[in-house]
Amino acid sequence: MKKMAKKAPKKAKTARPRKPKAPPPSAAPKASEAALPRDSARSDRFLPAVWKRGPAAVLGMGRSGLAAAKLLAKKGFKVLLSDERPRKALRAAAAKLPAGVSWEGGGHSDRLLKCRFAVKSPGLPSHAPVLERLKAAGIPVFSELEVALAFLPAVETVAVTGTNGKTTTATLTAAVFKAARRRVHLLGNVGVPVCAAVAGVKKGDLLVLETSSYQLEDSRRFLPEAAAILNLTPDHLDHHGGMEAYAAAKRRVFAWMDRRHSCVFNADDAGVVAMARSCRGRKLFFGRSPSTMTAAWPEGGKILLRLQGWKKPVKLSPPKLPGEHNLQNAMAAALLGAARGVKPEAIQKAFKAFKGVSHRLEDCGVRKGLACVNDSKATNVDSTLVALATMPQTKTTLLILGGRPKAGGFAGLRSQVERRVKAVLSVGEAAARVETDLQGAAHVFPCQTLEKAVEVAFQIGLKGETLLLSPACASFDQFTDYEHRGRTFKELLAVHGGKPK
């Protein structure tokens, strides 16, 4: 009897790893980004190999740059902080740097070229000469946001972006998730750099990130579970070099999404709707009226919410905040929560308790008969238009306008100023342009400083009128940021207007 030949054992089939879907053409990665793993924003095990070899350069000694440098030093990197500002202006910040971090001021030296990678602070333009030098030397540059996410444990991330309304929406979104008993961290452009919070974040936490175009433009693989784009109007064009580049930066918030992720869009903003066409994620729209595409809309003083699979729309009472824009912010926050499983009852609880955010149409009380409103966060004309829309059409508003101007001037305010503003109090570098653009629409008082503007306002204001700080400008000519400007305004109100009634 012949022995049967033994069959050779079959080789086990090895499953081929799935390739990530390519992002839409509008957000396709550059060739230099191709080697980075899709999940580089999830854990330090996904860090590019170049990171392991250090040392690191951090460009900019502002809030984000300092946070990035401290985090990298804590993780064992040698760090060089580099800033163009004079050394004298940086010494206070430098005194608080940990071991392992060196610094230089007055310009970016060739020491940067000895680093293995660099981290760019959000405010540094992408066309800055120092970035061109690093690029020519083959040194990769990462965003502060990207560095932070690389060192986080497994967390859930929700992002909010847009030209206006980001901070209010992000803060309200955080409140929605807190009402659902989630452990939440509100970070990013809202004031706390993500790098500064890494140590306090635990596995399973939820991050609500306010993301600016500055932060997004350098983020190669930012992949939030949900995101919202509130609106899109010209802003920061001097930084980005044009509207197309500005919009491209915003698109990065959903560049790597698929159907597992949700993105909320404003159905009433043509630029946002056009942007949504290239999104591969689950799309949720909010708008002024119901349609086949809207998942949230206002009706009879309520917000109606309708998601796929729900038997009928859910009615919610919006937060008690002034202006149609805040209704839009609330719809976006509701959709972000609902998309991640928050029940309507928790959303309503958050809405009921929400009192608004400092420096955004903040009620500062009535002082010497004037209703005082702090809208220091209005750093562009569109934001100030939103604020003016909440004022009465009786020319009883005293408007403080100015600061460091942005492209476009103030002519876009003219119609609203003619209808609602009694006097314009111009301040800062933009004072002369304000007078040129608005002369004849209302009486313009050139005040130069915020202190003088508040003083004049209480001299010319009458009982029942409103003093509104809504500058339509950046604050950097006289203040460190819009928060510093807003705090100063409130201090001046106390000096010239006494205690609020």
Are 251 and 211 within 8 A, CB to CB?
no
Task: Supply the pLDDT for residue 236.
Answer: 63
Alpha helices for 163-281 (secondary structure H) = 166-179, 194-197, 213-216, 237-240, 243-251, 270-276
> Where are the extended beta strands (E) located within 127-204?
141-143, 156-161, 184-188
Asked if 406 contacts 238 with a C-beta cutoff of 8 angstroms, the reply is yes
Q: How far apart are CA 228 and CA 354, in angstroms?
A: 19
Go through 398-424 and write b for each residue having 16 or more CB atoms within 10 A of its CB, e for each that does not: bbbbbbbbbeebbeebeebbebbbbbb
What pLDDT, on a 0 to 100 scale, did the predictor assign at position 87?
A: 95
Query: Which of helix, strand or coil describes residue 245?
Result: helix
Among all chains, which residue has been given the structure tokens 């502060």?
Answer: 144
Confidence bin at 109 (pLDDT 50/70/90): very high
pLDDT of residue 40: 36
DSSP state of 412: G
The answer to whether residues 276 and 257 touch, using CB atoms and an 8 Å cutoff, is no
**Cα–Cα distance between 456 and 458 in angstroms, integer?**
5
* Tokens found for residue 479: 């203040």
Burial 238-277 (b: 16+ CB within 10 A, else e): ebbeeeebbbbbbbbbbbbbeeebbbbbbbbbebbbebbe
For the stretch 57-94, pLDDT in tens is 999 999 999 999 999 999 999 999 999 999 999 999 99
Count of beta carbons in the 10 Å neighbourhood of residue 477: 16
At residue 92, the pLDDT reads 93
Q: Find the mean pLDDT for residues 228-250.
A: 78
Residue 328 has pLDDT above 90, yes or no: yes
Q: Measured between alpha carbons, how far is 424 from 52 in angstroms, rounded to an integer?
A: 56
Residue-wise pLDDT for 33-43, tens only, equals: 323 333 334 43
Q: Indicate if the pLDDT at residue 339 is higher than 90.
A: yes
Q: Average pLDDT for residues 181-199, to the nearest whole number?
A: 95
Name 446's Cβ contacts closer than 8 Å, sequence gap at least 6. 426, 431, 432, 435
Given a contact cutoff of 8 angstroms between Cβ atoms, the answer to whether 493 and 454 are in contact is yes
- Say if residue 55 is preceded by a cis peptide, omega within 30 of 0: yes
| pLDDT band with cut points at 50, 70 and 90 for residue 501 | confident
Lowest mean pLDDT among 6-15, 174-183, 429-438: 6-15
The residue behind tokens 């086990």 is 12
Mean pLDDT of 292-296: 87
> Quick one: what percent of the chain has pLDDT higher than 90?
73
C-alpha–C-alpha distance, residues 51 and 344, integer Å: 44
Residue 221 has pLDDT above 90, yes or no: no
Written as one string, the DSSP assignment of 4-54 is PPPPPPPPPPPPPPPPPPPPPGGGPPPGGGTTS-TTTTT-GGGS-HHHHH-
Q: How many whole angstroms from its chain centre is CA 269? A: 18
What are the residues whose beta carbons fall under 8 Å from the beta carbon of 333, sequence distance 6 or more?
169, 172, 173, 175, 176, 228, 347, 350
Q: What is the mean pLDDT of residues 46-52?
A: 55
**Average pLDDT of the segment spanning 235-247:** 69
Domains with residue ranges and CATH for the chain: 36-147 (3.40.50.720), 152-353 (3.40.1190.10), 362-497 (3.90.190.20)
Q: What is the pLDDT of residue 30?
A: 37
What is the pLDDT averaged over residues 369-386?
Answer: 95
pLDDT in tens, 113-139: 999 999 998 888 888 999 999 999 999
CB-based contact 427:402 (threshold 8 Å) = yes
Q: Name residue 392's amino acid.
A: P
Average pLDDT value for the chain: 88
Has residue 211 got a pLDDT over 50? yes
